[in-house]
Amino acid sequence: MTRIEAARRRASGAKQIAVAAAAAGFLATLLLARASHPGQAATSPSSRAGSQSRMQSSSSDDTFDYGSASVAPSSSSSSQAQTGVS
Amino acid sequence: MSPELRAFPAMGVEVAVCGASDDELISVRRLFDEWERVFSRFRPESELNRVNRDASRVVVLSRLFAHAVGAGLRAAAATGGLVDPTLGAAVEAAGYDRDFALLDDDERPLGPASRGRWGSLRLSGRLLSRPPGTVLDLNGVVKSLAVDSALELISGDGFVAAGGDVAVRGGAVIGLPGEGTLRLLAGGIATSGTTKRRWRRGGSFQHHLIDPRTGRPAESRWDEVTVAAGSCFGADIAAKAAFLLSDEGPAWLDERGLPGRFRTGAELVANRGWNETLGELVAA
């Protein structure tokens, strides 16, 4: 095998690797795009079961559920907690 | 369970906890410490900053970070993009580029405006794809999410309050901005506004509530908006959206069945939901 033939083989091998890598990258991007869409929330499990269940109950997109607070008037002049701008 | 009110600093605010046992309080403190390590804009080693520095189009997130990004995207979808997790560059351009306590008057002009681009994010499990140059800032949702999660760590009745974001189980009297109190039996309450986090940049006052439609600090009729909802997270994003919507804020809350109180200067205004639930104020 001449040096030119060896160089051609190496070049051909590198080209095949590059094509395969590009195809794999394209496929991965395609799968990622198909698996998600703008504004879609993660379905990843939370590290805390409690927060996960709460987030699922106030879930996704345009059907987001704000829930409703249970509130009542108070005549107390002293508060236990304060809401305000932080 | 301890009815004692105990407090500690985290996320740049004071966190107050009531109803937690000693072990539960330790868990709550750990939760806030962890969330601050992950989401801080001012810790170079935080995951938020690592993700923002990463030039790759697709990044692998921790479970906690993916959970918060997912919540940020749900908030964006629910508010028509008014609460947007991609405003990191905009808030820095307005001058909020270090811990708030370190901000001084700065005569330099504002940096370039950067509009929200939440719709270009793709989240699948723990994989996040975003366009080059996207700077995430999850602090618009992280504190209220942490408050809700912390309350879940308390087995009995109690509340968690962090810098004005409050989640309650079993009832607590909540002080309102300016004046007044209400009794929150269950759910969350939050206030958004510009009365505290303000600074001067380029010859005028700036604040941290960025309007994603302009990429600049929002111009609103209101100084503060207070909303109650089923969770602190829900109340928080609704308060932010109502603030940004300005005159349309009260009706927007009513459409979602949420009571809201609005303050501008000394004037207090309530939406229909607030007046029906908590008594008459000046109607918006």
CATH number at residue B203: 3.10.520.10
Lowest model confidence (mean pLDDT) among A78-82, B191-195, B256-260: A78-82
- Residue A75 domain-assigned (yes or no): no
- Between CA B195 and CA B204, with CA B200 as vertex, the angle to 5 degrees is 95
Residue A85 in any domain: the answer is: no
Whose CA is closest to B81, among B131, B112, B119?
Answer: B119
- Look over chain B and give the mean of its residue pLDDT values, rounded to a whole number: 93
pTM, to two decimals: 0.81
Q: Reduced to 3 states, what is the DSSP secondary structure of residue B150?
A: helix
Q: Does residue B31 contact residue B149 with C-beta atoms inside 8 Å?
A: yes
Helices (H), B15-138: 22-39, 47-53, 63-78, 88-93
Stronger pLDDT, B12 or B271, i.e. the higher one? B271
Q: SS3 breakdown of chain A: % helix, strand, coil, rounded to 5? A: 50, 5, 40
A86: nearest CB among B164, B233, B256: B164
The answer to whether residue A29 is domain-embedded is yes
pLDDT higher than 80, residue A43: no
Out of A29-33, A73-77, B7-11, B115-119, least confident range: A29-33
B8 vs B208: which has the higher pLDDT: B8
Which of B13, B125, B231 shows the shortest C-beta gap to A43? Answer: B125
CA distances from residue A18 to A12, A23, B55 in whole angstroms, order as listed: 10, 9, 21
In a domain, A79, yes or no: no
For residue A44, name the pLDDT band (cuts at 50, 70, 90): very low
Q: What is the pLDDT confidence band of residue A50, given thresholds at 50, 70 and 90?
A: very low
Check pLDDT > 60 for residue B2: no
Q: Residue written as tokens 């600049």?
A: B216
B30 forms beta bridges with: none
Cα B46 to Cα B42, B201, B252, distances in angstroms: 8, 26, 35
A47 inside domain: no
Identify the DSSP state of B185: E
Report the share of chain A in percent with pLDDT over 70: 48
Among the residue ranges A33-37, B161-165, B222-226, B251-255, the one predicted with the least confidence is A33-37
Please check whether residue A74 touches B, CB under 8 A: yes
> Can you give the pLDDT at residue B74?
96
Domain assignment present for residue A52? The answer is no
Is residue B10's pLDDT more than 90? yes
Q: What are the backbone angles phi and psi of residue B229, rounded to the nearest 5°?
A: -150, -175
Place of tokens 């009729």: B221
Question: Over pLDDT 70: what percentage of chain B?
Answer: 98
Residue B188 clears pLDDT 70, i.e. is over it: yes
B75 neighbourhood in chain A, CB within 8 Å = 64
Comparing CB atoms, the residue among B18, B121, B191 nearest residue A38 is B121
The pairing of strands B267-270 and B282-283 is parallel
Distance from CA of A62 to the nearest CA of B (A): 5
Written as one letter, the residue type at B33 is: D
User: In which band, very low, low, confident or very high, does the pLDDT at B198 lie, cut at 50, 70 and 90?
Assistant: confident
Residue A12: which domain range?
1-35
**For B14-29, what is each residue's pLDDT tens digit?**
999 999 999 999 999 9
**β-pairing, B165-175 with A81-82?**
parallel
Q: Which residues of B touch A39 (CB under 8 A)?
A: 73-74, 76-77, 118-119
Contacts of B99 in chain A (CB under 8 A): none
CA pair distance B10, B33, nearest whole angstrom: 7
Token pair 């070049």 in the structure block, residue: A11
CA angle B14, B92, B225 (to 5 degrees): 50
Q: Distance between CA B175 and CA B144 in Å, rounded?
A: 17
pLDDT of residue B282: 61
Which residues on chain A are in Cβ contact (under 8 Å) with B78? 61-62, 64, 66
Domain count, chain B: 1
Provide the domain count of chain A. 1
Domain holding B141, by residue range, is 5-283
